[in-house]
Chain A
């Protein structure tokens, strides 16, 4: 029998930060090209470096904002795990309890031993 279809991942939503990110990356690349171009004057290279550093800091801030958003989403996901985890822990305890019950096996077997003695006293089967 074939496997049932595996659910497809949810549709990818557009990240609202992506447009600003793309613009900053373009500025960063231009600044990098300008500061590494030996044909540019020292002043032009220094200005490009300042822009490169500033744009990098803005991108850092955008990455940090993404991390903060992800933190909130992760907390929500973790909260949703709780009911399933509780059920899994309960299952583990139930299975452990089955094993623990068998710790009483010695007394059960001892009971058999006594039963045999008593049955033996009753006469032929």
Chain B
């Protein structure tokens, strides 16, 4: 006859062993992130940077247009009466609102992709499983003094639960994510193309042309101001005003480059999403990695432009 305490001890180990084996099996089946989830997370991070810089582009155009209005007002003060109705942002409020909403929508998509693809759900699960294990330890101490569970055993059980949960989550992801990427690709391509065209170049209708000419107006207004007031300026004042001209020319070049890089980044964002969708069932995806490298490089380049512009303000 086996003593009762001994039988209980044996049963405890059998059950915990089963839980742990399940967990280890689950872990071996792949509770780590799948290649698609890893790529979706990488896409999300890079997309966030590109979206933020596009927002900066709209602010840059409106700010430069406002600066040009002020410069022209000063230059033409003696000849043109002030008209308050002409002081307005270049991008009308309703159009800016739509762009802001679309960019927020893209950002929400990138964030959701990261949330469902990343490690956070598994980390949350581990936290919850740990809390559950702690509850159990507390419960035994209070009510089941005869049934001791060591911390090591508790940790193993918690790891097993987290591993099983990880597999279940990955199963859900693998089932739903490819279809979602397929569904989202067409609107993402369309939106990125429209945003890219919206920015355009100084040689096409759009924001880049408006920004380039806003600088042209500032440069012309500055030249006009110097010409009209040179006679009444001291040498030092004249030097200061003249020094503004090359700064404006440099600012125009940088702004042109910033918008060109932003448009390029939007094209890269579309390509990266297309590659993410096209390689959804692939274990290794060199084409996606290439697109991502391009997207990250563009985003970094634009960030440099906007930082340099903002520090000059």
Binding site for B on A (CB under 8 A): 1, 3-7, 9-10, 15, 17-18, 21, 25, 28, 32, 52, 56, 59-60, 62-68, 70-71, 73-78, 80-81, 83-85, 87-92, 94-96, 98-100, 102-106, 108-110, 112-113, 115-117, 119-121, 123-125
Contacts and interface: CB of A to CB of B under 8 A. Distances in A.
B236 to A, nearest CB: 26
Given A110-B139, A113-B147, A98 B125 contact: yes
Q: Which 3 A-B pairs have the closest CB atoms?
A: A105-B132, A120-B8, A80-B187
Contacts of A32: 216
Q: Would you call the interface of chain A mostly helix, strand, loop, or mixed?
A: helix
24 contacts: A3-B278, A6-B271, A9-B189, A63-B90, A63-B210, A64-B92, A74-B195, A74-B198, A75-B98, A78-B98, A80-B186, A80-B190, A81-B105, A84-B180, A91-B176, A95-B116, A96-B121, A99-B124, A102-B128, A103-B131, A109-B132, A110-B139, A112-B15, A115-B15
A74 B136 contact: no
Given A71-B98, A103-B128, A3 B193 contact: no
Interface of B: 1-2, 4, 7-8, 10-12, 14-15, 19, 90-92, 94-95, 98-99, 101-102, 105, 108-109, 112-113, 115-116, 121, 124-125, 128-129, 131-133, 135-136, 139-140, 144, 147, 157, 161, 165, 168-169, 172-173, 176-177, 179-180, 183-184, 186-191, 193-195, 197-198, 200, 203-207, 209-210, 213, 216-217, 220, 267, 270-271, 274-275, 278-279, 282-283, 285-288, 291
Contacts of A121: 4
Nearest to B132: A105
B291 to A, nearest CB: 8
A113 B144 contact: yes
Contact of A67 (B135, B198, B267): B198
Contacts of A9: 189, 193, 267, 270-271
Nearest to B113: A88
Contacts of B283: 1
A102 B207 CA distance: 51
Nearest to A115: B15
Contacts of B203: 25
Given A81-B109, A110-B139, 18 more contacts: A3-B288, A6-B287, A63-B90, A66-B205, A70-B206, A73-B190, A81-B188, A85-B109, A89-B112, A94-B176, A96-B121, A98-B172, A102-B161, A103-B128, A103-B132, A105-B133, A109-B157, A120-B4
Contacts of B99: 71, 74
Contact of B112 (A6, A21, A92, A124): A92
Given A67-B91, A88-B112, A102-B125, A4 B279 contact: yes
A85 B108 contact: yes
Contact of A124 (B2, B188, B278): B2
B194 A74 contact: yes
Contacts of B186: 80
B129 to A, nearest CB: 6
Contacts of A10: 189, 193
